Structure 1
Amino acid sequence: MAKIKEIAEKMNISVSTVYKALSDAEDVNPETKKKILKTAINMGYVAKRKGDNHKRICVFIDQPEDNHVQYFDYEVMMAFKRNAIHSGHEVSIMSLDYTLNHSKSFDELMDEYQFDGAVILGLSNFNPYFEQLKTTSHPVVILDNFLDNPMVASVCCDNMKGMKLAIDHLVDLGHTRIGFINGQNDAYVCKERLGGYISSIALRGIAFDPELVCNGNFTEESAAPLARHLVSMGVTAIMCCNDMLAIGAIKELMGMGLNVPGDISVVGFDDIKLSSYITPKLTTVHTDLSQMGEKLFIVLELMMKDNRLDMSLQPSYLEVRESTSTVNSRAEWLDSRSG
């Protein structure tokens, strides 16, 4: 984890300026403070623990039964919890279910349990708490979503860059008819990744065809009928909004007698641990989930010290494995069907 001196050296500014910015001093230019906070987050800065620095933090989980939450958010949550406990904080984990919480408002929950801050994983826009978070007065950090409230910060993977890397990989392999299996079309992360898909194919000179975009719900099971539809539309590759959808698509394609990647290439997003254990091993956009959990903690610590942040991006890169190949064999298969 970075020290104040290392942040100062990285930014070529004085140690005192960094210290004052991280302490929310008023005599630091707001733009400079914002840049320092961003750098501190990216470098992994955590303040030294003081005797009175013990905080009560809650990790709220929306839709805990969702496979996407179980695989993706679990890894993030455990990394967050490790960092928080190491820094002397107390961490609780609760479901963000309005009914289970006896219809108590978000602020009522925070006050009742005396939480100093909260992290929310898997937040759905349909959750009643979503609207309440727009006016909360408690420091909150949400994962892969965004709310217009200075008390709510966001940590997201770089969806646009990740999608561009995936699409470029497929186009470089010769694919121009690329289907997209999305998650819930109202979810922030899905809107981001769909936007990345559309802009990325456009940059490679491929016209957008709305018939090649299907909406699932993040689950493996929802991918099956969507994969069948995309096969009927003559795609040679399928880009998926997350790894569970990609795994479901691969199972369905193989059940149809198709070879992955010989007939159709498939790419996922997130790189959950399961991705490297399936057959074929999944080519996917990698996000370091452990680092994302650490970044959630760093951002929340800064928020609890009265710093105000908006969005922090976690870098993404493409992990090329076994589920993608050149377009040639699939094109021949399509020709044989039409003949």
Structure 2
Amino acid sequence: MASVEIVDLRKAYGSLEIMHGVSINIENGEFVALVGPSGCGKSTLLRMIAGLETTTSGQIKIGDRVVNDLPPRDRDIAMVFQSYALYPHKTVAQNMGFALKLRRTRADEVATRVRRAADILDLVPYLERFPRQLSGGQRQRVAMGRAIVRDPAVFLFDEPLSNLDAKLRVQMRAEIKELHQRLKTTTVYVTHDQVEAMTMADRVVVLRDGRVEQIGTPLELYDRPTNLFVAGFIGSPSMNLLRGTLVKKDDAVSFRTVSGVTLPINHAPEQALGRDLYYGIRPEHFTLDGKGVEVQISVIEPTGAESQVFAKLGNDKIMAVFRERMTLKSGAKLRINPVRPSVHLFEAETGARIN
């Protein structure tokens, strides 16, 4: 195991700079997810840690070594790719042990390590099978086993679950998290799926356009997003964001949307009064208590465990999630009440959080 330290890392192709001074400290044994939309630079960053991409400037340290100029084989890392990258003509055991064979590791040592990894990943019954005889989830476990046998200081995962169906992704998420808890190896995990990042990682790094927007635990990002981008990106369904201004009447402050709907708020800085803002409220932070603001239902999506309500609040479209089963039809009116302590305020111009 080893820590990973990234200091002011930059990457440019000619005059086009795509990584803009990224700095991240990953503790020994920590599971960190890099998440963001397509093109944000998360896979490029992972490939620079692995040595598959060169750095333009900045520093990458694995343990106590600066590895910028080291080839991938000397960095003591193991990478699991989006494609399984298995040799079709080799058995599971041969695929898992191939990297050790290239290092001229003794045959008995290779067999011991392969068997240990197969035990961890429940692959023992499949060691003599070929990749074509395995399911997608089993192939992904073989790719993980190939990384485990090397006993690296750092695991790197590049969107390893994107080729799997939804049910298998959920299963594999749990397996990878359990694997990390058992091995306690430092892990850097790239995904575009924020739910995947939230459910698996100790800390999440949110990237946009080659810059770090926020670093924190999953619940820190969920409860206190630092700006509009993180607020809208983290959470599924995503946060409702309504534009408007703060108004004060009889010493009470409220938020008035552009379309004139008044929404409650606990408190806000005096200097924010009258400024162009966004009011953020997550879909699950509404209550049905007969009070609050009136909305007109557009669609109700029952999922069994909950009801997802799409509605119009003035001229704004919002979404609310309730545990109650609802039988109302499109066009019906409903009164909902935002949970005041769960309201977020953001500057419209800069996107920065103000409360």
Larger relative contact order (CA 8 Å, sep ≥ 6): 1
More helix by share: 1
- Fold shared by both chains (TM-score > 0.5): no
Taking structure 2 as the reference length, what is the TM-score of the superposition? 0.26
Structure of higher CA gyration radius? 2
